[in-house]
Structure 1
Amino acid sequence: MSEDHAPRPIRVALSNDYEIALLGLAQMLASYPDQVHVVALTTEVAMTHDPDVILFDTFGRLFEDDPKLGKVVAENDALVIVYSWDDYPEEAARRAGAAGYVSKRASAQELVAAIVAIHDGHEPERVEDDGEAVMTWPGQALGLSQREAEMLTFIVRGLTNDEIGRRSYLSINTVKTYVRTAYAKIGARNRSEAVAWGIRHGFESTDDTGL
């Protein structure tokens, strides 16, 4: 059977440290059952449902040193596709062994098309930067931006503002701005209150491989 006529739907496992992030991603793919079938939503490294593709969502992760991606690639036979914003660059994903990379600017249809293309051994079409992202993320319904939500994940993990800035290549003032606006939106007056809010709302990571 040729690659262009590989069996459908493609079996896809969704990987991230946060279950609520995975639920949003699963909803995006649910409208394309003839092309992709989500077989697992997992925070673990090893896959147990024999997927064809692992879609590795980088929400809450920093690219500078991401041992989990390397472990996911090394410990599974499936193709690993990184799904990320531009601040987790494609070069970093490729160095870790990812078979493909899809920008979070992609619509659900574009994401599915990219999964199919990479699975079949082709380069997916590049997603044009129109400034609009369609991905859902934890806290979005409460008005948190993607960046504010990620700042909360790092805070819950125990990183200081300086550590967040160094690892994400953001200035300390930029980090403080995101943290301040996130606090205002969740009603937190200090870091302890922000951590408690984050744990209650699913911002506590299950990852034990480090950032």
Structure 2
Amino acid sequence: MIRVLVCDDQVLLRTGLVTIIDAQPDLEVVGECGDGRTAVDLAGKVNPDVVVMDVRMPVLDGIEATRLLAGAGVPNPVKVLVVTNFNLDEAVYQALRAGASGFLLKDTPTAQLLQGIRTVATGAALLDPEVTRQLVGKYATRIRPADGEPQDIPLTSRELEILRLIALGLSNQEIAETLTISRETVKTFVSRILAKLGLRDRVQAVVYGYRHGMLD
């Protein structure tokens, strides 16, 4: 069973999410709340595998809650899937930088949302492809390095090519079809990229790529 904590300040929406998630044979809602502070406190008590997190909430917003649950230096990070109404929003960018493992819009089809929870639970990252393209495009200049900052690009040309496709929001299968290689080969390359860069997931890889001038 995948243990899920749902955090959203809209009661009706939160209730709907809890009902949908709890109806799945492999998913179990172990807690729900309406603000980030309670989410952080509850996570320490119920030990969720995934926190489904809204962004804009009272007391403590989803960004800071994500940072406390999954940010750099957290001893036992929790996987966070951000689900929000906001598409190209500063808060979404900040949530991903804070350590979120994935991001989906609230109007995402139910089946895709449920699969997103399962995907994040496995340790993989998840980004809505269209949102990824727009989000990265909007904030790329902000996260690029300052002029004159030394660049160290330890990736091969093939690894860079795959990183660029990841930045476009392509799945492993779509990358495999684009490059005419097997899905397993893509998975191997992705794992190698993360290992070389010392990163946790695809989200961090995309941010890292732009910050270090690897992506245009």
* TM-score normalised by structure 1 residue count: 0.46
Write 1 or 2 for the structure with the bigger share of helix: 2
